[in-house]
Amino acid sequence: MIKKKLLIILLVIVSLIFLLFIIRLISPKEIDDVTPGIFCETKYLEKSDILWVIPDFDNTAISENASWCKHILSLNKTLGMHGIMHAYDEFLVDRNNEYLYRGIKIFEDCFGFRPEMFKPPQLKISDSNTKLIEGNNLKLKMNFNQLVHKVYHCNDEPEFVKNKVIDWV
Ligand SMILES: [Zn+2]
């Protein structure tokens, strides 16, 4: 009897993994860390459906780079905001409206519209920052999103990307 139970449990686990694989295969692909200061191969940008943009990486506002903004817009993708500066634990430190607005403004100056989605760097965010994001009508994307979507990073080594079975099918 115990053997049979174990077999059923194993079967359920295998089915769930398979289901997750299928969901990831058909759900929109995403790429994180899109910003002029981080090298990103165009073919990976083109393969992704959602681009997660860092507005002020390395103290360089994306809005200052008009040709980059134009290029990203020309790809015709869904764009979300990925942190403001992408500093380590950026949204574990409590931030205020002023901090958030600066990022929104840079994003808006670059692309001509306000971001509607937000994903914190390293998927780390404090409770008070969660309220700040949601209070400003930004949809917060967290772990569940990361699980059901294939997510890539701009600075991934191409060889490494090639070898990942689940990625870039
Ligand atoms: Zn990131």
In a domain, 138, yes or no: yes
Establish if 13 belongs to a structural domain: no
Q: Is residue 131 part of a domain?
A: yes
Q: How far is the CA of 18 from the centre of ligand 1 (A)?
A: 27
126: CA distance to ligand 1 center in Å? 17
The answer as to whether 19 is a domain residue is: no
Ligand 1 centre and the CA of 148: distance in Å?
17
Number of domains the chain contains: 1
For residue 2, report the distance from its CA to the centre of ligand 1, in Å: 45
Q: How many CA atoms lie within 13 A of 25 on its CB side?
A: 9
Calculate how far, in angstroms, residue 66's C-alpha sits from the geometric centre of ligand 1.
Answer: 22
Q: How confident is the model at residue 157 (pLDDT cuts 50, 70, 90)?
A: low
CA–CA separation, 166 and 169 (whole Å): 7
Residue 7 lies in a domain: no
| Residue 6 counted as domain residue | no
Residue 134 and residue 105: Cα distance in Å, rounded?
Answer: 17
Q: What is the CATH number of the domain that holds 91?
A: 3.20.20.370
For 38-97, what is each residue's pLDDT tens digit?
A: 999 888 899 899 999 999 999 999 999 999 999 999 999 999 999 999 998 999 999 999
Say if 62 falls within a structural domain: yes
Q: Give residue 20 CA to ligand 1 midpoint distance, Å.
A: 23
Tens-digit pLDDT profile for residues 14-43: 999 988 888 888 788 899 999 999 999 888
Give the integer Cα–Cα distance in Å for 131 and 118.
Answer: 12
In a domain, 83, yes or no: yes
DSSP sequence for the chain: -HHHHHHHHHHHHHHHHHHHHHHHHHSPPEEEEESTTS---HHHHHH-SEEEE-TEETTEEGGG-HHHHHHHHHT--EEEE--SS--TTTTTS---HHHHHHHHHHHHHHHSS---EE--GGG---HHHHHHHHHTT-EE--HHHHHHS-EEETT--HHHHHH-SSS--
Q: Which domain holds residue 107?
A: 28-163
